[in-house]
Structure 1
Amino acid sequence: MKIHEDNALGALGSAIGKGLLAGLAATAAMTLSQTIEMKITRRESSDAPVKVVEDVADAKPSAPEDKQKLSQEIHWAYGTAWGIARGLIGLTGLKGVPATLVHFGAVWGTALVMLPKHGAAKPIDEQEPKAIAIDVLHHGVYAVAAGLVYEALDAGSRRERKLNKLAGNLKSLIKRFK
């Protein structure tokens, strides 16, 4: 059985899988970034994930001491799931810094709308510049890590090999005319 070379569903599945792995790695990087920042600034951890879930799904931790655990579970699931968006961006052919900027804009832009809507954060125009900078930093760490991991996983894709082969052929052709 020969698999068709331009298998759209296979490419979609591959992009989603790579995106999930990239999202997981990016969530780990963001969590590390937040942990370091919280130690430096002595900031308490956020309960924003729990606030959103309480508002959206009317779900609450079974006990107050479970709030932080639930918040972490939501943080990891949400961050990992956002990797799918990175995979879909990769399917468009966008790569590198432009793809990372699009992903950053989608992730941070969603947070800027969703968190205030559900009472989990102040609107950006009511936040202190330091808080905005910290938020940009952490979301930037997430987007850069997701981009690096996704690109590393996607580097050996059939599409990438075809583009590299085409580029090599063009270089050979140019050399002939020099």
Structure 2
Amino acid sequence: MKLNEDNSLGALGAAIGKGLLAGIAATAAMTLSQMIEMKITKRKPSNATVKVAEDTAGIKPATKEDEQKLSQELHWGYGTAWGVARGIIGLTGLKGLPATLVHFGAVWGTALIMLPKHNAAKPINEQKPQEIAIDVLHHGVYAITAGLVYDALDAGSRRELKVRKILASLKGLKHRLK
């Protein structure tokens, strides 16, 4: 059986799978970053995810313990799912820092819009600079980790090998034209 070289659905599936793995790793890194920051700043855990779930899906935890559990489940699910966006960005051919910046903008930009909309956070123009810096730090940790993991998983893919082959041909052509 011969495989079709232009397997777009296969490339999409691979990008989604790699993105999910990158999202898990990035969520773990962000969680660790938040735990360290909360120890330093004495900040209490956020219940923003639960507020959004209550507002959008009508989910109301029965106890404080249930609220913390739901918050963690939503945090991990949401962070893992955003890894798919990193996979789709990778399909465009963007890699490294440019892809990480696009991913960061999408993730943080969505938070800046959605959390105030659901009364889970103040709008950015009402936040203190320290709150904004902390938020940027955690989302930055997330995006950088997702980018590093995704790019590592994507290294050596057929698409990348094709790009390398084209670049090598162009270098050879450039050398011959000299």
Give the letter for the 2:71 counterpart.
S
- Find out whether 1:47 has 2:15 as its counterpart: no
1:75-94 to structure 2, matched below 5 A, reads: 75-94=75-94
Counterpart of 1:174?
Answer: 174
Q: Which residue is 1:153 aligned to? A: 153
Shift of residue 86, structure 1, vs aligned partner:
0.5
Distance 1:18 1:62 in 2: 36
Q: CA RMSD in A?
A: 1.0
Q: Measure, in 1, the Cα distance between the counterparts of 2:153 and 2:115.
A: 31
CA distance in 2, matches of 1:130, 1:29: 20
TM-score (norm 1): 0.96
Give matches, 1:25-104, under 5 Å: 25-104=25-104
Q: Secondary structure at the match of 2:6?
A: coil
- 2:159 and 2:65 map into 1 onto residues whose CA distance is 49
* Structure 2, unpaired ranges of 5+: none
What are structure 1's unaligned runs of at least 5 residues? none
3-state secondary structure, aligned to 1:120: coil
How many residue pairs get aligned? The number is: 178
Give the structure 1 partner of residue 118 of structure 2: 118
Residue type of the alignment partner of 1:174:
K
CA deviations 1:47-81 (Å, max 9, x no partner) are 11111101110012232221111101100000000
**Aligned equivalents of 1:55 and 1:144: distance in 2?**
30
Paired amino acid for 1:32: L
Q: Which stretches of structure 1, 4 residues or more, deviate above 4 A after TM superposition?
A: none
Alpha-carbon offset, residue 141 of structure 1:
0.6
TM-score, normalised via structure 2 length: 0.96
Once the 2 structures are TM-superposed, how far is the Cα of residue 2 of structure 1 from its aligned partner? 1.2
Q: In structure 2, what is the equivalent of residue 9 of structure 1?
A: 9
Percentage identity across paired residues of the two chains: 75
